[in-house]
């Protein structure tokens, strides 16, 4: 919403300057977004051409001597055809920035003649497009004074960023009312128009709608015998200042009413209207050529005003070209109507039309001003264009029921902490147009003015009192502290989420945040893509489906990095994946991938590679270590964690694993990827990855005490024994470890695999797995017999469960 300071002062009696006005506007909730104090026009002065001689060496140029009132004329070279002795115009001296040509003047030399300034055209001053000649003012224009003051260009322009709840401030008058209520001045009361009405308006208005809310009122008046020339300079100046182009008096009046009173009006050339006006829904496919000279195809969701010719206007949004007013208009029909805000918003949006009328109707135009608005418009028409108004026709309007709100004054203190006296609260409300109907010193009944559709309840009234009294008066007051030290505030899942992130980052991985929505084919590839997770209006075709997994986003991100030359990438994300559209189907997953040689030890080639195992491509075991690191960091008892061969379809079937807690609960997958997955994602390189489902992890058991179990340190020496078993290739190491461990759960405290070997010497399809068994006696030193027995049991267990044999 734009307006000028002088326009505001037409409604507001105040001594406040621009800065004070702007400060107050922002303070009461009308945020000033932009102020143009028109300082750019200040350097231009009114000057008189004393003499105009032909330029000695240029036919089209003249050499002017220009007087700025100090009796010391300056020499200016000028090419304007209307430059002549005696002309009074606007002079820019060297050093002045000329906005229309974006140039800061310097002393010039034009074909050998010095020029000490420039006589400007309107275009050079950005006042209009007129560049036919330099500004030609009346002879009595005060030479030597500021041109901007004379031309009214010194009127500062203010733009406020209006919140959608304040239709009353889509008008200069409404803004003045708010400022007056805040004590910045006095609101000037408009005089009631005195019209001498003659005859009837010969056109009927028929509201033909299934829902009367779509057009709750329509007033129409004919004014006969108008003369529609240009509007007066004062009106043009204001319209131009806020960026509107003056067209003709009738149209300018409607625009003026829109901004001055927040009351969009429409004028029809009565001669072009055939028959009566019907307010109805548009027919499907019906077309109208609108005032913006574009043709719109309409649907029944849009309400139009039609006559026997067809659609003449899109109600509340834009008039039609056919019945528009021009300089030939003699009889004019003035429309003041009410429209449904929601329907205006929808229609405007679907038609793609943004107008000042729509802006106001979709916020809500004061219903009680429908008739006064028509009266005021008629007054302006008669004043500026002459003519005789006829009696108005009104259809549909049933009056406005004011909302009544019970308001205990104590609400202000309760909700804001402010102490505002009852007297002041009453004054503020009255100043804003609220009427206190009844009540006492503690509670009153307040009637809400018709221009404030946003006020419904007492909290709204608190806001009114607070914003006018001044938000700055609210003292910050500490929130009472709890009387005890805080207990733990994070949930287990929140703690695990944070822990997983820090654990993975401390394994050299970088945390990424990738899109929650991914392309459909990728979603399908990772078990997603169901219809309930598909966006109806994705921002791009490849951001269409909620991700079922973190992996596609991470894999494609790794490829993007690789394409830039960063191929050794270790990245992770801890975030949501989606199995359905209900809250319980949103998972919390820690996922990560490693590409190239980005292992825990470090990426790339190093002189120490050979010794420390670096430089080789990442594989399933890197991913497994990452996944287990997350689980371990989350505090799960690792003894209950099992790893099984194989994973979901997007992994390499022989190089992937499933991590479980107990027999049923899957808490993670890891592995290298299926070549089909990689080619479908269009990614390449050595890649491995994992996902751990943080939300699937069970809550830790509640402990009765924080005391750790007593530590029992055995006095007897811990002993290590090595075994190697030859087994079928398909036998997994896990089962050997399990079998060995179960030989004596008390004595055996650990089993490590220290060698895996495959070779022809072992026979076709065989491998050797060597384990080291840690034996910790607790009550006595073991004898040779004890060891023999234990060894037999270990070997027996492993051979029985795996079908292998002890390697000789």
Partner 1 sequence: MSDLENLKTSLLTEIAAAGDEAALEAVRVAALGKKGSVSDLLKTLGAMSPEERQSRGAAINALKTEVTEALSARKTVLRDAAINARLAAETLDVTLPVRSSPAERGRIHPISQIVDEITAIFADMGFSIAEGPDIETDYYNFTALNFPEGHPAREMHDTFFFQPDEKGERKVLRTHTSPVQVRTMEAQKPPIRIIIPGKTYRQDSDATHSPMFHQVEGLVVDKKSHVGNMRWILEEFCKAFFEVDSVTMRFRPSFFPFTEPSFEVDIQCDRSSGPIVKFGEGTDWMEILGCGMVHPNVLRAGGLDPDEYQGFAWGMGLDRIAMLKYGMPDLRDFFNADVRWMSHYGFRPLDMPTLFGGLSV
State in angstroms the smallest separation of the CB of 46 from partner 1. 36
**Given the complex with partner 1, which of 352 and 715 has the nearer CB atom?**
352
Q: Which of 72, 191, 482, 664 binds partner 1 (CB under 8 A)?
A: 482
Would you state the structure tokens that stand for residue 602, as one six-digit string? 């470090």
For residues 148 to 187, the per-residue mask of contacts with partner 1, x marking binding by CB under 8 A and - elsewhere, is ---------------xxxx---------------------
Q: Which of 110, 395, 510, 724 binds partner 1 (CB under 8 A)?
A: 510
Q: Which of 72, 191, 398, 564 binds partner 1 (CB under 8 A)?
A: 564
Pairing of strands 545-546, 570-578: unpaired
Q: Which of 6, 128, 427, 514 binds partner 1 (CB under 8 A)?
A: 514
Check residue 345 for interaction with partner 1 (CB under 8 A): yes
Only segment of 6-14, 21-29, 250-258, 313-321 that touches partner 1 (CB under 8 A): 21-29
Q: Which of 569, 590, 681, 683 binds partner 1 (CB under 8 A)?
A: 569
State in angstroms the smallest separation of the CB of 691 from partner 1. 16
Check residue 696 for interaction with partner 1 (CB under 8 A): no
Q: Which of 373, 591, 614, 689 binds partner 1 (CB under 8 A)?
A: 614
Check residue 605 for interaction with partner 1 (CB under 8 A): no
| Whole-Å CA distances, 562 to 235, 559, 691 | 64, 5, 22
- Spell out the residues 6+ positions from residue 221 whose beta carbon is closer than 8 angstroms to its own: 201, 333, 334, 374, 378, 389, 390, 391, 392, 393
Q: Which of 22, 180, 253, 554 binds partner 1 (CB under 8 A)?
A: 554
**Given the complex with partner 1, which of 421 and 781 has the nearer CB atom?**
421
Of the candidates 569, 514, 571, which has an alpha carbon nearest to the alpha carbon of residue 547? 514
State in angstroms the smallest separation of the CB of 173 from partner 1. 20
How many CA atoms lie within 13 Å of 582's alpha carbon, on the beta-carbon side?
A: 1
CA distance 728 to 68: 109
Q: Which of 505, 665, 718, 756 binds partner 1 (CB under 8 A)?
A: 505
**Given the complex with partner 1, which of 489 and 730 has the nearer CB atom?**
489
Write out the DSSP string of 732-771: -HHHHHHHHHTT-TTTEEEEEEEEEE--GGG-TTEEEEEE
State in angstroms the smallest separation of the CB of 218 from partner 1. 22
Pairing of strands 310-314, 318-319: antiparallel
- Spell out the residues 6+ positions from residue 155 whose beta carbon is closer than 8 angstroms to its own: 4, 5, 6, 7, 38, 237, 241
- Spell out the residues 6+ positions from residue 280 whose beta carbon is closer than 8 angstroms to its own: 208, 209, 303, 304, 306
State in angstroms the smallest separation of the CB of 586 from partner 1. 5
Check residue 472 for interaction with partner 1 (CB under 8 A): yes
Pairing of strands 277-281, 205-208: parallel
CA distance 421 to 671: 72
Check residue 513 for interaction with partner 1 (CB under 8 A): yes
Per CB under 8 A, which of residues 439..468 are in contact with partner 1? Answer: 454, 457, 459-460, 462-463, 466-467
Check residue 566 for interaction with partner 1 (CB under 8 A): yes
**E strand intervals along 315-465:** 318-319, 332-338, 388-389, 393-395, 404-408, 435-439, 443-447
Give ∠ CA 371-372-373 in degrees, rounded to 5.
Answer: 85
Check residue 803 for interaction with partner 1 (CB under 8 A): no
Check residue 768 for interaction with partner 1 (CB under 8 A): no
**Given the complex with partner 1, which of 6 and 606 has the nearer CB atom?**
606
Only segment of 595-603, 661-669, 738-746, 796-804 that touches partner 1 (CB under 8 A): 595-603
Check residue 496 for interaction with partner 1 (CB under 8 A): no
Check residue 509 for interaction with partner 1 (CB under 8 A): yes
State in angstroms the smallest separation of the CB of 265 from partner 1. 24
Q: Within 10 A of 582 (CB to CB), how many other CB atoms are there?
A: 9
| Whole-Å CA distances, 447 to 407, 423, 463, 735, 775 | 10, 17, 16, 82, 88
For residues 96 to 115, the per-residue mask of contacts with partner 1, x marking binding by CB under 8 A and - elsewhere, is --------------------
State in angstroms the smallest separation of the CB of 363 from partner 1. 11
Only segment of 10-18, 237-245, 250-258, 342-350 that touches partner 1 (CB under 8 A): 342-350
CA distance 72 to 171: 48
Residues 640 and 667: beta-carbon distance below 8 Å: no
State in angstroms the smallest separation of the CB of 352 from partner 1. 11
Check residue 730 for interaction with partner 1 (CB under 8 A): no
Pairing of strands 88-92, 45-55: antiparallel
CA distance 434 to 249: 35
For residues 284 to 303, the per-residue mask of contacts with partner 1, x marking binding by CB under 8 A and - elsewhere, is --------------------
State in angstroms the smallest separation of the CB of 781 from partner 1. 37
Q: Which of 194, 479, 713, 760 binds partner 1 (CB under 8 A)?
A: 479
Check residue 417 for interaction with partner 1 (CB under 8 A): yes
Three-state DSSP class for 656? strand
How many CA atoms lie within 13 Å of 523's alpha carbon, on the beta-carbon side?
A: 26
**Given the complex with partner 1, which of 506 and 676 has the nearer CB atom?**
506
Check residue 82 for interaction with partner 1 (CB under 8 A): no
**Given the complex with partner 1, which of 342 and 437 has the nearer CB atom?**
342
CA distance 641 to 661: 5
CA distance 554 to 527: 16
Q: What is the 3-state secondary structure (H, E, C) of 33-74?
A: EEEECCHHHCCCEEEEEEEEEEECCEEEEEEEEEECCCCCCE
Check residue 516 for interaction with partner 1 (CB under 8 A): yes
**Given the complex with partner 1, which of 256 and 517 has the nearer CB atom?**
517
Q: Which of 20, 31, 159, 744 binds partner 1 (CB under 8 A)?
A: 31
Residues 756 and 784: beta-carbon distance below 8 Å: no
CA distance 89 to 87: 6
**Given the complex with partner 1, which of 321 and 632 has the nearer CB atom?**
632
Three-state DSSP class for 354? coil
Check residue 28 for interaction with partner 1 (CB under 8 A): yes
Of the candidates 77, 79, 57, which has an alpha carbon nearest to the alpha carbon of residue 65? 77
**Given the complex with partner 1, which of 182 and 228 has the nearer CB atom?**
182
Per CB under 8 A, which of residues 518..547 are in contact with partner 1? Answer: 531-539, 543, 546
**Given the complex with partner 1, which of 531 and 663 has the nearer CB atom?**
531
Per CB under 8 A, which of residues 180..219 are in contact with partner 1? Answer: none
Would you state the structure tokens that stand for residue 235, as one six-digit string? 């009106």
């Amino acid at each position: 919403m734009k307006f000028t300071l002088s326009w505001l002062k037409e409604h507001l009696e105040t001594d406040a300057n621009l800065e004070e006005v702007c400060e107050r506007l922002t303070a009461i909730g009308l945020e000033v977004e932009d102020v143009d104090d028109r300082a750019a026009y200040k350097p231009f002065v009114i000057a008189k051409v004393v003499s105009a001689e032909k330029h000695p060496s240029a036919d089209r140029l003249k050499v002017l001597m220009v007087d700025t009132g100090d009796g010391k004329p300056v020499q200016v070279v000028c090419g304007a055809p209307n430059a002549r002795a005696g002309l009074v115009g606007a002079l820019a001296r060297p050093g002045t920035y000329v906005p229309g040509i974006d140039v800061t003047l310097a002393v010039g030399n034009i074909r050998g003649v010095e020029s000490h300034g420039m006589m400007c055209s309107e275009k050079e001053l950005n006042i209009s497009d007129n560049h036919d000649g330099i500004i030609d003012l009346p002879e009595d224009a005060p030479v030597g004074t500021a041109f901007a003051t004379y031309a009214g260009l010194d009127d500062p322009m203010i733009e406020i960023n209006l919140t959608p709840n304040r239709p009353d401030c889509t008008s200069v008058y409404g803004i003045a009312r708010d400022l007056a209520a805040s004590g910045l001045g006095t609101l000037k009361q408009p005089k009631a128009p005195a019209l001498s009405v003659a005859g009837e308006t010969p056109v009927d208005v028929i509201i033909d709608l299934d829902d009367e809310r779509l057009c709750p009122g329509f007033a129409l008046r004919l004014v006969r015998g108008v003369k529609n020339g240009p509007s007066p300079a004062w009106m043009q100046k204001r319209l131009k200042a806020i960026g509107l182009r003056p067209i003709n008096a009738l149209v300018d009046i409607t625009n003026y009413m829109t901004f001055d009173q927040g009351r969009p009006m429409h004028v029809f050339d009565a001669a072009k209207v055939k028959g009566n006006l019907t307010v109805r829904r548009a027919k499907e496919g019906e077309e109208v050529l609108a005032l913006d000279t574009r043709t719109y195809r309409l649907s029944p969701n849009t309400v139009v005003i039609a006559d026997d010719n067809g659609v003449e206007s899109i109600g509340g949004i834009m008039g039609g070209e056919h019945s528009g007013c021009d300089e030939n208009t003699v009889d004019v029909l003035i429309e003041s109507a009410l429209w449904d805000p929601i329907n205006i918003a929808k229609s405007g949006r679907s038609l793609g039309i943004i107008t000042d009328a729509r802006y106001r109707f979709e916020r809500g135009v004061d219903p009680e001003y429908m008739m006064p608005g028509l009266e005021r418009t008629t007054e302006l028409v008669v004043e500026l264009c002459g003519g005789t108004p006829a009696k108005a026709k009104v259809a549909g309007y049933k009056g406005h029921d004011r909302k009544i709100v019970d308001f205990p004054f104590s609400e202000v203190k309760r909700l804001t902490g402010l102490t505002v006296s009852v007297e002041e609260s009453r004054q503020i409300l009255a100043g804003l147009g609220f009427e206190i109907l009844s009540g006492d010193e503690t509670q009153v009944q307040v009637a809400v003015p018709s221009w404030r559709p946003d006020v419904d309840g007492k909290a709204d009234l608190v806001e009114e009192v607070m914003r006018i009294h001044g938000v700055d008066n609210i003292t910050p007051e500490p929130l009472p502290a709890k009387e005890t030290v805080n207990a733990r505030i994070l949930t287990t899942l929140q703690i695990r989420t944070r822990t997983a992130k820090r654990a993975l980052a401390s394994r050299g991985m970088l945390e990424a945040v990738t899109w929650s929505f991914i392309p459909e084919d990728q979603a399908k590839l990772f078990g997603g893509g169901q219809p309930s997770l598909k966006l109806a209006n994705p921002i791009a075709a490849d951001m269409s489906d909620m991700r079922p997994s973190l992996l596609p986003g991470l894999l494609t991100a790794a490829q993007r990095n690789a394409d830039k030359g960063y191929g050794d990438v270790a990245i992770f994300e801890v975030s949501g994946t989606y199995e359905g559209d209900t809250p319980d189907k949103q998972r919390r997953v820690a996922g990560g991938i490693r590409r190239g040689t980005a292992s825990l030890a470090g990426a790339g080639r190093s002189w120490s590679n050979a010794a420390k195992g670096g430089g080789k491509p990442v594989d399933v075991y890197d991913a497994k270590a990452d996944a287990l690191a997350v689980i371990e960091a989350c505090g799960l008892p690792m003894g209950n964690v099992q790893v099984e061969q194989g994973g979901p379809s997007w992994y390499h079937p022989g190089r992937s694993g499933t991590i479980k807690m107990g027999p049923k609960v899957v808490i993670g997958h890891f592995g290298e990827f299926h070549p089909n997955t990689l080619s479908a994602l269009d990614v390449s390189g050595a890649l491995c990855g994992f996902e751990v489902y943080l939300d699937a992890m069970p809550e830790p058991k509640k402990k009765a005490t924080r005391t750790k179990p007593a530590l029992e340190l055995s006095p007897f020496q811990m002993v290590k024994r090595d075994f190697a078993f030859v087994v079928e290739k398909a036998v997994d190491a896990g089962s050997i470890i399990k079998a060995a461990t179960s030989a004596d759960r008390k004595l055996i405290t650990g089993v490590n695999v220290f060698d895996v070997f495959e070779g022809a010497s072992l026979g076709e399809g065989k491998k050797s797995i060597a384990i080291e068994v840690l034996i910790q006696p607790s009550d006595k030193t073991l004898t040779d017999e004890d060891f023999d027995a234990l060894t037999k049991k270990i070997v027996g267990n492993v051979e029985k469960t795996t079908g292998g044999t002890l390697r000789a």
